[in-house]
Amino acid sequence: QVQLVESGGGVVQPGGSLRLSCAASGFTFSTYGIHWVRQAPGKGLEWVGVISFDGVNKIYADSVKGRFTISRDNSENTSFLQLTSLRPEDTAVYYCAKDPVLTAGTPSHYMDVWGKGTTVTVSS
């Protein structure tokens, strides 16, 4: 079945870096955009950014622009979220989620499949 599995979370000091992975299976990964969404403890959902199916287009939330980078390796069916210059307010569960539209150059849609998330804690 269609599945997304995040990994790479952990505890990091303020100013540190981390790379999250999102491994996909059960669908043709190279034809769908991937979103990243986060949820701080006890809070709501915050969209972080999206990468198009071919990796050409990447769009970020203002809160992470210049610090986070989304990439993908279609040969490995994996998307990545590189987190740098981390702040305590970046502490959250990070989810990857699939855009539902095939080969969308600008994947601005809802998210039809979500992973279970990986937890990032930024603390000294």
Q: Which residues bind other proteins (CB under 8 A)?
A: 35, 37, 44-47, 50, 59-62, 95, 100, 108-117
The DSSP bridge partners found for residue 36 are 49, 96
CB of 28 to other proteins, least distance (A): 19
CB of 13 to other proteins, least distance (A): 26
Residue 1 or 75: which CB sits closer to other proteins? Answer: 1
User: In this structure, are residues 81 and 19 in contact, taking their beta carbons and an 8 Å threshold?
Assistant: yes
CB of 16 to other proteins, least distance (A): 25
Tokens 């993908």 belong to 72
CB of 119 to other proteins, least distance (A): 11
Nearest to 49, CA basis, from 122, 119, 121, 107: 107
Distances (CA, A) of 103 to 9, 20, 24, 64, 121: 29, 23, 16, 25, 34
Residue 66 or 110: which CB sits closer to other proteins? Answer: 110
Residue 18 or 50: which CB sits closer to other proteins? Answer: 50
Residue 15 or 105: which CB sits closer to other proteins? Answer: 105
User: In this structure, are residues 83 and 21 in contact, taking their beta carbons and an 8 Å threshold?
Assistant: no
